[in-house]
Amino acid sequence: MSCLLETERLLLRPPERRDIPALVPLANDYDVAKNLSKLPHPYTAAHGEAFVAEMQEKRVAGSDFTFAITLRSDGAFMGCIGLHLKDGSFEFGYWLGQKFWRQGYATEAARALVAFAFHDLKAESVWAGWYHDNPRSGHVLTKLGCVPKGFERRACLARGMDIGCNVVTLSRDAFLGRRAA
């Protein structure tokens, strides 16, 4: 199973300790953290160290496949994307540093990740959630072909409260059919 996913502009690879100096300032942005359930704010180098170590352990265990999103052109660290085994199915999530927003990178990275889930991990479906006040993330998921599954309250560590979260799902057949069309 490949640890590298390539797109036209991006290289997705396992996060490494060398990413921490770039990861910390991007993740320490409240406007990033408020859209993620488990990202603390403020975000420190110690958080970055713990994150990289935890993701390496979980990848070996087969329960988490997190990738650093980097630019192919210069290797710049941009954010993370990953699949997380939860209750027998894969949830996926992503984040980018603010200076990389609105350039199509999230959609490009998410397409590569979902293809990995269906081809390499043989998943039948994947699911994701987006907070009600982050419609841009919902737009990325819609472009992939995700369909609504429900609405729930989900904890947000950075905000210190539960936030309304739209849950969406994507089947293998829907994704592969969309790509063939």
Please tell me the number of Cα atoms within 13 Å of 58 on its side-chain side: 18
Average pLDDT (76-81) is: 98
DSSP β-ladder status, 125-131 and 5-6: unpaired
pTM of the model: 0.95
Domain boundaries, the chain: 5-180
Between CA 81 and CA 116 the distance in angstroms is 12
The DSSP output letter for 16 is: -
pLDDT score of 2 = 61
**CATH, domain range 5-180:** 3.40.630.30
**What would the pLDDT profile of 24-43 be if each residue is shown by its tens digit?**
999 999 999 999 999 999 99
**What would the pLDDT profile of 84-130 be if each residue is shown by its tens digit?**
998 889 999 999 999 999 999 999 999 999 999 999 999 999 999 99
Average pLDDT (3-31) is: 97
